[in-house]
Structure 1
Amino acid sequence: MRQLDFNIFDFDIPVVKPAKGKILIAEPFLKGPYFGRSIVLLTEFGKEGAVGFVLNKASNVYPDEVIDDILSFKGELFIGGPVSSDTLHFIHTLGDILPGSVKVTENIYWGGDFEKLKDLINSDVVTYKQVKFFAGYSGWSPGQLEGEIKDKSWIVTEIDDMAIMSENIDDIWENTLNSLGGMFKTWSKFPNDPNQN
């Protein structure tokens, strides 16, 4: 057998600094139910650490099943991360319609007046295409995320707001890596379990 003189998982990743509105793409070997093959939207990043939400881990539960006063909501409840999994969070495209929201990207906001949001949903003014709910969140203490990025656990990049809000999440990890080209394209095709290849 001929020895290769390169490693497809050990190459220089372009340095993109984490920031609010950027996404984190998990490298193929990152394990665990929360972060394995995940894409995380960063909603906060600074000296005090980072907060984000895993975009592609559905719970097979719907918000109207766990929130008493929401009458009907077609969008799934996503697993935002391992921190405070008994808390509810949301991102949306409602902007100033929802007081108290924090702007994350050009069109995406985080949080805001929850009572107002429930009223808008129950009045059929807002649909699942404008709001994504999460149980729990992903959090990093100061310097922790930077260390994980340095260790190549995460690739930092951007995706468009439509992809962030999309309900079609099955292939988002693979498609996003694939869109980066080069070696990332190879990563996107790497099997979940190399032993079954």
Structure 2
Amino acid sequence: MNLDTNLFKIETNHVAPEKGRILIAEPFLPGSYFNRSIVFLVAHSDKGAIGFILNKKIDYPVNEILGDFPDFEADVYVGGPVSTDTIYFIHSLGQLIPGSIHVKDNMYWGGDFDEVKKLIREGLILPDQIRFFLGYSGWDNGQLEEEIKENSWLVSEINEDLVMVDRKTESMWVQAVRDIGGKYTLWENFPENPSLN
């Protein structure tokens, strides 16, 4: 029986990559970073793109990774393969954190990290208002668009609750594929490594 390989071809879905949208990895995208990942884009321009992987949680809270960080029960996620020795963050605190960059709706990227620590010490930041990442995902000008043409990524919308509040990392990729529907719902049934079947 012949397999219809069009199942894995991503049709141009009139959703362009831009800040505030997500990239959904095709089912067999190789590499430990991007395998079945959801990447939230925080920047996209003619200079390139920057994003953070939403569904690869690290088993250590932020205050165990950073020695001088206040006691705070917040998870850390693998943001991507670039600058993996640096903590980045997105949040829903707007201009409460100086230097924040608006991404979409009530979602912001970065800002004054010392102010974040101060606000946490004062009890003014809750864990569902901020997400921490080790490293980030980055693309040079045109690189992401080329990967999209090569069927590596499906671009979609995402709402703030899925980014900031509902952090079911194990099922996030499957749910994103289901939300798009059509032939993409078949992706969730393929094993991550077909050679092991």
TM-score normalised to the size of structure 2? 0.94
Q: Where does residue 168 of structure 2 map in the other structure? A: 168
| Match runs of 1:117-132 below 5 Å | 117-132=116-131
Letter of the 1:94 partner, please give it: L
Q: Quote how far apart the aligned CAs of 1:194 are.
A: 2.1
Instruction: Indicate if the aligned counterparts of 1:57 and 1:78 stay in contact, CA closer than 8 A.
Output: yes
- Superposition CA RMSD, Å: 1.5
**Cα offset, 1:196, TM superposition:** 4.0
C-alpha distance in 2, partners of 1:74/1:5?
Answer: 46
Q: Do 1:120 and 1:126's aligned partners in 2 also have CA atoms closer than 8 Å?
A: yes
Query: Once the two structures are aligned, what percentage of the paired residues are identical?
Result: 45
User: CA contact under 8 A between 1:174 and 1:189: conserved in structure 2?
Assistant: no
CA deviations 1:48-103 (Å, max 9, x no partner) are: 11110001111111110122332211121111000010011000000011111011
Task: Give secondary structure in 2 for the equivalent of 1:138.
Answer: strand
Where does structure 1 differ by over 6 angstroms across 4 or more consecutive aligned residues? none
Gaps of 5+ in 2: none
CA–CA separation in structure 2 for the residues paired with 1:128 and 1:112? 17
Q: How does 1:16-31 map onto structure 2 within 5 Å?
A: 16-31=15-30
Counterparts of 1:174-185 in structure 2, within 5 Å, are 174-185=174-185
Q: Whose helix fraction is larger, Structure 1's or Structure 2's?
A: 2
* Matches for 1:45-60 after TM superposition, within 5 Å: 45-60=44-59
- What is the SS of the residue equivalent to 2:58? strand
The number of equivalent residue pairs is 196
Q: 1:100 to 1:190 in 2, by over 3 A?
A: same
2:73 corresponds to which residue?
74
SS in 2 for 1:170: helix
Structure 1: state its 5+ residue gaps: none
Separation in structure 1 between the aligned mates of residue 60 and residue 107 of structure 2, nearest angstrom: 23
Question: How far did 1:131 drift?
Answer: 0.5
> Residue in 2 aligned with 1:115?
114
One-letter code aligned to 2:60: V
> Shift of the alpha carbon at 1:4?
5.6
Aligned equivalent of 1:14:
13
Contact 1:70–1:118 (CA<8 Å) still a contact in 2? yes
Compute the displacement of 1:8 (Å).
1.7
Alignment partner of 1:83 is 2:82: yes
- The answer to whether the 8 Å contact 2:89/2:131 transfers is yes
Report the TM-score when normalising by structure 1: 0.94
CA contact (8 A) 2:10 2:151 kept: no
